[in-house]
Each structure stands twice: as structure tokens, then as C-alpha cells.
Structure 1
Amino acid sequence: MKALTYQGRHDIRYGDVPDPAVTSPTDAVIQVTAAGICGSDLHIYRGNPFSPELGYTPGHECVGVVVDTGDQVTRFKAGDRVLVPASVGCTRCRACAAGFTARCERAKTMTDLCYGVSPQLPGSQGQALAVPYADVNLVHLPEGISDEAAVVLTDNAPTAWYGCRRARIRPGETVLVIGLGPVGLMAAQSAFAMGAARVLGADLVAERRAFASTLGVEPVEGEDARTVIREMTAGRGPDAVVEAVGSDATIELALKAVRQAGRVSVIGVSQTKDFPFHMGLAQVKELEFAIGLCSVHYELPTLLALTQAGRITPEVVVSHRLGLSEGPAAYELFNSRADGVRKILLDPAR
């Protein structure tokens, strides 16, 4: 089959790879109908991979149709339209049984928990994907949810909802979202769905701020973001901050911008091993700080219901639709943040 492969820093290639197959009675193979490029895929593209190996297919966001199953798969059959959650559960430990796949007790590293970060679990940016423990690691797609919405529901929307849930957003509050890429935009939608009265949005890219404003977000304009945020909140600071970038600078901004006794929730993927956390500041401000990885399986039932009810619209974050064969150019575009890019969907048929 055709797929993208990671060959090194800024080196994504399109070509032939072995067809995935059912190798265990609990496996399934799906034909991918749409795949996404995630912000965390850019860590790999920029030369900060989660595995030292090369040549594997990246990606952990896709929807598709089941084409083959092992003889122990009972909930899915050929022809079923499915969503593939980005997080992979072993299905047998206590955490996975409760839906908390990111806390899988059998997983040893990140490569056990996610597609497309090593050869161990080849990713979704190809024409087909093998899914282990398919009865748990696949989700039936309800009628009326488009491929565009479904791809966002595989990771970006659950991560955003998880971040807002851990920020404990309450009705009437003011929330700051730092980073207005797909996860940040979904965090803004999530905050409103949870009852936030105001959502402020900070991002270095003017086009992203402008688009976010169409969703009701109040953009933070100006070079001194912390001062502007204070001015926008009458000197008090937001009640909660959801950080969706993962850089040292944006996490520090979140800690400094939030109000006294406020809450900070970090969902941007950070690979920093020695972050200079200002413990004194956090203690004096009486802050709550949360950070973690989303268990997509746990968040999905809520988000599917909200999407079907029209309370959130995941598809609005999609800005570009390209063929899988254009994958190398798609990565370059996403990395550049040019042309108003927010979310890129890849069509494996092209």
C-alpha cells in the first residue's frame, strides 16, 4: 500500500510500505478514508521524535471502514464505518477497563500508547491501518458525523475537552486558551460548552487569532501578552488557563497570567526534561496545576453526544484537504503555519 514514512528531520516521504494484516485473532484492519496531521506529529517532523528509529508511518488520527477482522473480534465486521482513537489500550488492565488508556498499566513507554510514533504501532497516514484489540480500540461512528468531524474527534477534540475538564471550568468564568491551533480551538469550544462566559485566546499567528474570533474567542492582541490579558480582565487574570502549545514560554505565561487561586491545565505536548517551575510563584498564588495525556476512549462518549447535538462543531477547525501523495508538502505547510493553516486532512485515495 501507499503511505507516508518518517526518514529524519523535515523528511517525510510518500511511497510503498507492506500492507497491514490481521496477525492476532483480536486485530482488525481498516481502510483509511481520512487521516489528520496533528501538532504532536510536528515534534517528530522537527527532529524530536519519541523513538530513535526511522522508516515508520506516522500519524494517530483517522477514520475508515473495516475490511478484515480476527476471529475473536465480535463488535465489528467488514463494512463498518469506524473512528480510531489515538490512544491505544491493552484492554486488560484496570486503567484500560475504565477507559483510561493513557494510564495503561502494561504500557512501558509512549510507543505503547499511540500509533505512529515508532515502528511498533505503524501510524494512520497510509491507505490502511492495523488495529490491535479492535473490540475496544475501534469506535462505531454514528450517522451524521462527517469524516472531517470524526478525524478531529480521534485526538484534538478529546484532548481539548480533557484539558478543560481538568481545569475545572465553571459556568460564568473567564478562560484563557494559549495556542489557537486545532486543540486550542476545540478547547475554546469546550470551555463555552462547559459554561464559560468569556474565552480569551493567545497565539503568535494573527490569522489564527482572527479565525478564533469567529468562534466567539476574544483575541489577545499586542506583544506583551501578559499585560494585555491583565487589561482584558480588569487586572485580575483569567479564572482558568488551558495551555495547548507545550513550550516553556507558553507554560510560563499560563502560570503568570492566571488569577490568584486559579487553575492551569497543560495539554500541549512538552518534551522538556528540566522545566524551571517557579514553585514560589505557584505557592504564593495558590495555584492548581494539571498536566497529562488524554485517554481518548474516556472522553469520546461525551464528545460524540455533543457533536450530534450541535453543541460543538469539530469540523470547523479543518482548513486544508490534500491527497496522501501530497503528504510531504502538507507537513511543510503545517510546519510553516502559512496560508491560514489550522488542520490538514489527508485523503488516501489521492
Structure 2
Amino acid sequence: MKALTFHGPRDIRYSEVPDPQLQDDRAAIIEVTRVSICGSDLHIYHGEGFSEDLGFCVGHEAVGVVVEAGSAVDRHRAGDRVLIPASVGCTRCPECGEGRTSMCRTRSGALEKCYGLGSRLQGSQAQFVAVPDADRNLFTIPDELSDDAAVVLTDAASTAWYGARRARISPCESVTVIGLGPIGQLAAQHALLMGAAEVFGIDPVPERRQMAAAQGVRVVEAEDPVAQVREWTGGLGSHVAVEAVGADVTIETAQRIVRRTGRVSVVGVNQNKKYSFHMERAQVKELEFAIGLCSVQFELPTLIELTRTGRLKPEAVITHCIPLSEGAEAYELMDSRAEGVCKIVLDPRA
């Protein structure tokens, strides 16, 4: 089969790789119909990955059709249309039974809990993908959901919802979203859905600010976003900040931009083991600080229903659909943030 493989910093190739095989009777093989590039895939693209492996298949946001299921798989059969959560759990521990796959007792470390981080669990930017413990790691797609809507639910929309939920956004509160890429755009959408009185958005890319403004976000154009948000909130700062970038400077901005007793929720990926947390400021302001990795399986039932009923429009963040064969060019475009790019979807069948 054909797949996108990683061969070093900024070296993604459209390669011929072996077809995936069932590893045991709990696994399934999926023919991929849509797969997208996640902002966290750019960490791998830049050479900041979780593994030193080369030649592995990348990607962790995909939907498709079951072509083969092991004899112990109860919930899915060949021909079923399914989405593949980015997080990977088992079918045995109590945490995964609750959908909290990031806390899985069976799978140890990030390399076993997400597709496409290394050779241990090949990614889904491919024509086919092997899914372990399929009863836990596949969700049937309702007829009302398009593949484009479903592929955004596999990670980006779920992570955005997780971040907004952990921030405990309440009606009539003000929310600042830092980073208006796909997750930030969706976090803003979720905040409004949760009843936020006003959502402020911060991003250096004009097209992303325009996209956010079109859905009701008050975008910050000033050079000092903290001063601007304080001015808009009577000198107090916003009640909540959702950080969707993962850079040291944006996490710092999130802590500064909220008011006293404010809440900060970080969903951007930060790999800095020496990050300096400003403990005195957090204590004086009585900040609540939440950070973590989304268990997609826990969030999906809510998001599938919100999407099915039209309350949520995850596909709104998609700006480009590109054949998988042009995946290397798609990564370059995603990295450049040119052409107003937000979410790129790849089509393995094109």
C-alpha cells in the first residue's frame, strides 16, 4: 500500500510500505477514506518527535471502512463506516472501560497510546491502517455525519472540547483562546456552545483571525494582547484562557491574560522539560491550571451527538482537501500557514 512516511526533519515521503496485518483476534484493518494532518504532526515533521525511528508511517486522525475484523471483535464488521480515535486504549483495564484511554494500564508510554509517533504503532496517513483492540478504538459513524465532519472528531474537535470542558466554562463568562489553528477554532466554537458571553481570539495569522471572527470571536489585533483583553474586560482579564499552541510564550500569556481566580487550560503540546512555571503569580492570583492529553474515546459520545444534531460543525475548520500522494506538499503548506490554511484533509483514494 501507499503511505506517508517520516525520514527526518521536513522529509515526508509518499512511499510503498507493507500492507497492515491483524496482530491478534481483537484487531481490525480499516481502508482509510479521509485522514488529516494535525498540528502535533508538525512536531514530528520538525524533528521534535517522540521516537528516533525513521521510515514509519505518520498520522493519527482518520476515518474509513472496516475491511477485516478479528474473531474477538464484537462491535464492528466488514463494511462498517468508522472513525478511529487518535488515542489508543485497551479492552481490559477499568480506565479504558470508562473511555479514559490516556490513563490506560496496559499500554505504556505515548508511543503505544497514539498512532504515528514511531514504528511501534504505525500511523493512519495511509491507504490502510491496523487498529488494535478494535472494540475500544473504533466508533461507528452515524449516517448523518460526513467523512469530513467525522475526521475532525478523531482528535482536533475532541481535544478542543476536552480543553474547554476542563476549563469549566460557564454561561456569561469571558474566554480567551490562544492559537486559532484547528483546535483553537474549535475551542472557540465549543466555548460559545457552552454559553460563554464573549470569546477573544489571539493568533498572528490574519486569515485565521478572520475565520474566527466569522464565527463570533472578538479577535485581538493589538501588539499587546494582554493589555487589549484587560481593556475589554474592565481591567480584569478574561475568566478563562484555553491555550492551543504549546509554546512557552503562549502558555505564559494564558496565565497573564486571565483575571484573579481565573482558569487556564492547556491543550497545546509542550515538550520543554525545563519550563519555568511562575508559581508566585499563580498563587497570588489563585489560578487554576489544567493540562493533559485528551482521551478521545471519553469525549466522542457527546461530540458525535452534537454533530449529528447540527449543534456542532467540526468540518468548518477544513480549508484544503489534497490527495494523499501530495502529502509532502501538504505538510509544507501546513507548516507555512500560507493560503489561509487551517485544517488539511488528505484523500487516499484520489
TM-score normalised over the length of structure 2:
0.99
1:53 alignment partner in structure 2 = 53
Contact 2:35 2:63 in 1 (8 A): yes
2:262 alignment partner in structure 1 = 262
Q: How does 1:120-131 map onto structure 2 within 5 Å?
A: 120-131=120-131
Q: How does 1:280-291 map onto structure 2 within 5 Å?
A: 280-291=280-291
Inter-partner Cα distance in structure 2 for 1:15 and 1:78:
26
Q: How does 1:59-208 map onto structure 2 within 5 Å?
A: 59-208=59-208
Inter-partner Cα distance in structure 1 for 2:235 and 2:310:
35
Q: How does 1:313-324 map onto structure 2 within 5 Å?
A: 313-324=313-324
Task: Kindly provide the CA deviation profile for residues 168-209 of structure 1, in whole angstroms up to 9, marking residues without a partner as x.
Answer: 000111000000000001101111111111110000111100
Task: Kindly provide the CA deviation profile for residues 189-247 of structure 1, in whole angstroms up to 9, marking residues without a partner as x.
Answer: 11111111111000011110011000111101121111111112121100000000000
1:8 alignment partner, SS class: coil
Deviation of residue 341 (structure 1)?
0.2
Letter matched to residue 31 of structure 2: Q
Inter-partner Cα distance in structure 2 for 1:107 and 1:260:
39
Task: Kindly provide the CA deviation profile for residues 295-343 of structure 1, in whole angstroms up to 9, marking residues without a partner as x.
Answer: 0000000001111111110000000000000000000000000000000
Contact 2:33 2:63 in 1 (8 A): yes
Inter-partner Cα distance in structure 1 for 2:77 and 2:151:
21
Inter-partner Cα distance in structure 2 for 1:62 and 1:345:
9
2:7 alignment partner, SS class: strand
Q: Which runs of 4+ in 1 moved over 6 A?
A: none
Letter matched to residue 323 of structure 1: P
Letter matched to residue 115 of structure 1: Y
1:271 alignment partner in structure 2 = 271
1:242 alignment partner in structure 2 = 242
Deviation of residue 54 (structure 1)?
0.7
Task: Kindly provide the CA deviation profile for residues 103-150 of structure 1, in whole angstroms up to 9, marking residues without a partner as x.
Answer: 112232110100000111100100000000111110000011011111
Inter-partner Cα distance in structure 2 for 1:311 and 1:302:
11
Deviation of residue 272 (structure 1)?
0.9
Inter-partner Cα distance in structure 2 for 1:152 and 1:233:
32
1:4 alignment partner, SS class: strand
Inter-partner Cα distance in structure 1 for 2:220 and 2:102:
33
Inter-partner Cα distance in structure 1 for 2:77 and 2:19:
19
Deviation of residue 252 (structure 1)?
0.1
1:210 alignment partner in structure 2 = 210
Letter matched to residue 291 of structure 1: I
2:311 alignment partner in structure 1 = 311
1:327 alignment partner, SS class: helix
Letter matched to residue 216 of structure 1: G
Q: How does 1:7-22 map onto structure 2 within 5 Å?
A: 7-22=7-22
Contact 2:102 2:293 in 1 (8 A): yes
Inter-partner Cα distance in structure 1 for 2:286 and 2:23:
52
Deviation of residue 160 (structure 1)?
0.5
**Unmatched tracts of structure 1, length 5 or more:** none
TM-score normalised over the length of structure 1:
0.99
2:177 alignment partner, SS class: strand
2:338 alignment partner, SS class: coil
2:232 alignment partner in structure 1 = 232
Deviation of residue 92 (structure 1)?
1.1
1:242 alignment partner, SS class: strand
Inter-partner Cα distance in structure 1 for 2:243 and 2:266:
5
Inter-partner Cα distance in structure 2 for 1:339 and 1:122:
30
Inter-partner Cα distance in structure 2 for 1:188 and 1:234:
21
Deviation of residue 23 (structure 1)?
2.2
2:162 alignment partner, SS class: helix
Inter-partner Cα distance in structure 1 for 2:276 and 2:42:
24
Letter matched to residue 141 of structure 2: L
2:230 alignment partner, SS class: helix
